[in-house]
Amino acid sequence: MHIFLVFFQIKFQNKKIPFLSVLPGRTPLCLASYRGNPETVHLLLDRGADMEAASPGEGLRPLDRAISAGHSAAVQCFLRKGAKLGPTTWAMAQDKHEIL
């Protein structure tokens, strides 16, 4: 099995924000969503990151990852930007009433 490592850096307010991706298709927005970093999610969305891009194989969008990890502040960033709530999103939110 091959492991792909990709390192992303975003410069914001003179700070470098690192991202490490182990699987292809995982974007900085995907990782920030999973980690629950609302400031980074907000920054990436403002800079044009594709909030609807699904990861290959799993088909999960960054919003789905934020919900599955229970990060309500990151979820709110997506909802404020008009993210669509599809069937996968609702399935991830089941029994997580505080998220949505």
CATH number of the CATH domain containing 55: 1.25.40.20
Position 13 in a domain: no
Dist CA 14 CA 4 (whole Å): 28
Is 48 part of a structural domain of the chain? yes
Classify burial at 29, counting beta carbons within 10 Å of its beta carbon; exposed 0-12, middle 13-18, buried 19 or more: buried
60-92 pLDDT tens trace? 899 999 998 999 999 999 999 999 888 888 887
Q: Tell how strand 6-12 and strand 15-21 pair up.
A: antiparallel
Residues 9-34: tens digit of each pLDDT: 545 455 554 545 455 667 888 888 98
- Indicate yes or no: pTM above 0.95: no
Residue 11's H or E segment, with its range, is: strand 6-12
Q: At what angle do helices 72-80 and 38-46 cross, to 10 degrees?
A: 20
